[in-house]
Structure 1
Amino acid sequence: MNFTIENIEAAHQKVKTGADFPQYIQTIKAMGVSHYKVYVPDGNTEYFSNENRSVQTGSKYDILKVSDIVSLENFKLRLKLHQQGETDYMTFCNDCAGNGIKGWTMDLTAMTCTYFDRNETDILTEHIPG
């Protein structure tokens, strides 16, 4: 495993909008990150190597309550706004929680992002732009 939370956070500091995101993905992929999982309730992110070893950021903010009800169409609207740079990360996390999204998994091999609900059931998968 060639990466640390510090390496990843340094790369993440360069992400200002959704437009910067593809470069961030390429950077952490080059470090050896195979996939990562973000948990909306507290912002913890776990990064995995191909050997399935991992490092975690730990809690990043006060607990957000994730709705029991998934509002997929509303979530898609909020997601699109975020991807266009119209909302910041914390707003997006609140949007996820309010629409029943507990988190997401970024697969850097398949280049997909899969959002999941409170039961960790996959709700929506999108292709990550290269």
Structure 2
Amino acid sequence: MFTLEQINDAHRKVKSGAEFPYFMKAIKALSVMRYEAYIKDGHIDYYGLHDDIVKSDAKYAPLEIANDVKKDQFKTELLAHQQGKTDFLSFIKMCAEVGVDKWIICMDTMTCTYYDQTGNEILVENIPV
């Protein structure tokens, strides 16, 4: 079973969205099958191969998530983040401002799905490996 310390060690090596594929490979090697990241306070729930669950604590003071989703703005800013133009906290604040509530990473399909507060899909992306 993986530990939060192992996941955090892998995450510390990620300085921008451009390095995200490295993080994905590292946690997949730990047998993480999916995780759910919550924009409001930064906590993440990691799910393992054998129904293991590891939950992180909140990482920052709660953010208010916008009710109205600005999908086009989100896509533009997400691309900038993936190109390494923003740091992670800037990306998180932008997500809150455009109505992204959480994302779910699925290792089987190597996808990242972003959701609004009512559980509607905003965007599904393939994760490069």
Q: Partner amino acid for 1:84?
A: Q
Supply the distance in 2 between the matched residues of 1:18 and 1:8 (Cα, whole angstroms): 17
**Which residue of structure 1 aligns with residue 120 of structure 2?**
121
SS at match of 1:28: helix
Supply the distance in 1 between the matched residues of 2:113 and 2:125 (Cα, whole angstroms): 6
1:81 matches 2:80 = yes
TM-score, with structure 2 as normaliser: 0.96
Supply the distance in 2 between the matched residues of 1:39 and 1:63 (Cα, whole angstroms): 10
Supply the distance in 2 between the matched residues of 1:88 and 1:17 (Cα, whole angstroms): 5
Matches within 5 A, 1:36-51: 36-51=35-50
Note the alpha carbon deviations across 1:25-70, whole angstroms, 9 max, x for none. 1111010100000000000011001222211111000000000000
Shift of 1:116: 0.3
SS at match of 1:20: helix
Supply the distance in 2 between the matched residues of 1:73 and 1:82 (Cα, whole angstroms): 14
Q: Which runs of 5+ in 2 are unaligned?
A: none
Supply the distance in 1 between the matched residues of 2:59 and 2:13 (Cα, whole angstroms): 18
Note the alpha carbon deviations across 1:74-100, whole angstroms, 9 max, x for none. 010110111011111111111100000
Q: Structure 1: which 4+ aligned runs deviate by more than 6 Å?
A: none
SS at match of 1:67: coil
**Which residue of structure 2 aligns with residue 112 of structure 1?**
111
TM-score, with structure 1 as normaliser: 0.96
Supply the distance in 2 between the matched residues of 1:45 and 1:68 (Cα, whole angstroms): 21
Q: Partner amino acid for 1:93?
A: I
Question: Contact 2:16–2:88 at 8 Å: present in 1 too?
Answer: no
Q: Partner amino acid for 1:76?
A: K
The root-mean-square deviation of aligned C-alpha atoms, in Å, is: 0.9
Q: Which runs of 5+ in 1 are unaligned?
A: none
